[in-house]
């Protein structure tokens, strides 16, 4: 199936992590010109860009700090100069303020990075999308919005706020040819899932057993959903929430 992404410019935030790498690779394989952003993992982002180049694709690595509006604006400016107007945004970057008890600083930082920063990236690419009369915005949420897990309050609350923001964007921006949707991954089998405090193999096994498909979501599962919603093949899905959880959010 041709997703109609060939030659379109895609911006993937948080591209150096497992899910971000999968999204970036999936879009590049469809012929998109991909900007892979990083905050603290430059080496991983540049290695990803090299891999895409070896496969015949075109990509660039760009530093972007979602806590810094200047960094966001500069990143988008560089992408537009090097690749062209951003047509697809996969807002995947995330900060994990999961420690408890959550202090004022932890809560503030979580919302600044995950909500304010994400919306600042969206706002930075919208003018170009409006001008070209076409755009796809895909916000990455989380299954913890509907299926709570033993994490702090800031992360699920921030993801819930993004889901509300997506509805606003969907109703406001569709008149310009811009469709906004949400991908809501379930507990995804990533390096973090195995190494993050409070997670680990025991939780992985327990969540797998509770999932109707009897396995966890993979980064590639998430990437496939993002690639579709962020493509021309998606002609009319707008303001939708696509759960990629194997049905886990249906089971309590």
Q: Dihedrals φ, ψ of 99, to 5°? A: -70, 145
DSSP letters, 79-113, are HHHHT-SEEEEEE--------SSPPHHHHHHHHII
Q: What 3-state DSSP class applies to 227?
A: helix
Domain regions of the chain by residue span: 9-191+219-244
pLDDT at 98 over 60: no
**What are the pLDDT digits (tens) for 74-85?**
999 999 999 999
Mean pLDDT of 208-236: 92
Mean pLDDT of 195-217: 77
Q: Does the pTM exceed 0.85?
A: yes
pLDDT at 195 over 70: no
> Which position among 155, 176, 228, 252 bears the catalytic label?
155
**What are the pLDDT digits (tens) for 28-69?**
999 999 999 999 888 999 999 999 999 899 999 999 999 999
Q: Which residues contact 189 (CB under 8 A, 6 or more apart)?
A: 204, 215, 216, 217, 218, 219
Q: Which two tokens stand for residue 119?
A: 């919306």
Q: Select the more confidently predicted residue: 204 or 178.
A: 178
Q: Does domain 9-191+219-244 bear CATH number 1.10.10.60?
A: no
155 given a catalytic annotation: yes
Q: Which residues pair with residue 89 across a beta bridge? A: 11, 137
Q: Select the more confidently predicted residue: 133 or 2.
A: 133
């Amino acid at each position: 199936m041709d997703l109609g992404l060939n030659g379109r410019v895609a911006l993937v935030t948080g591209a150096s992590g497992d899910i971000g790498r999968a999204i970036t690779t999936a879009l590049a394989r469809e012929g998109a010109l991909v900007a892979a952003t990083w905050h603290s993992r430059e080496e991983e982002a540049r290695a990803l860009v090299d891999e895409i180049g070896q496969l015949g694709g075109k990509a660039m690595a760009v530093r972007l700090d979602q806590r810094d509006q200047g960094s966001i604006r500069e990143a988008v400016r560089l992408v537009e100069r090097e690749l062209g107007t951003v047509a697809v945004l996969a807002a995947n970057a995330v900060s994990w303020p999961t420690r408890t008890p959550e202090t004022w600083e932890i809560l503030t930082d979580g919302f600044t990075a995950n909500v304010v920063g994400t919306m600042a990236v969206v706002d930075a690419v919208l003018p170009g999308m409006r001008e070209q009369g076409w755009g796809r915005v895909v916000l990455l949420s989380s299954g913890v919005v509907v299926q709570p897990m033993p994490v702090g309050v800031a992360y699920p609350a921030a993801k819930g706020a993004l889901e509300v923001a997506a509805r606003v964007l969907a109703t406001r921006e569709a008149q310009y040819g811009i469709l906004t949707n949400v991908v809501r991954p379930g507990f995804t089998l990533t390096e973090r899932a195995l190494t993050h405090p409070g997670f680990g193999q025991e939780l992985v096994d327990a969540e797998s057993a509770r999932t109707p498909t009897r396995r966890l979501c993979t980064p590639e599962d998430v990437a496939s959903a993002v690639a579709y919603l962020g493509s021309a093949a998606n002609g009319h899905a707008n303001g939708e929430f696509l759960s990629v959880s194997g049905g886990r959010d249906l089971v309590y």
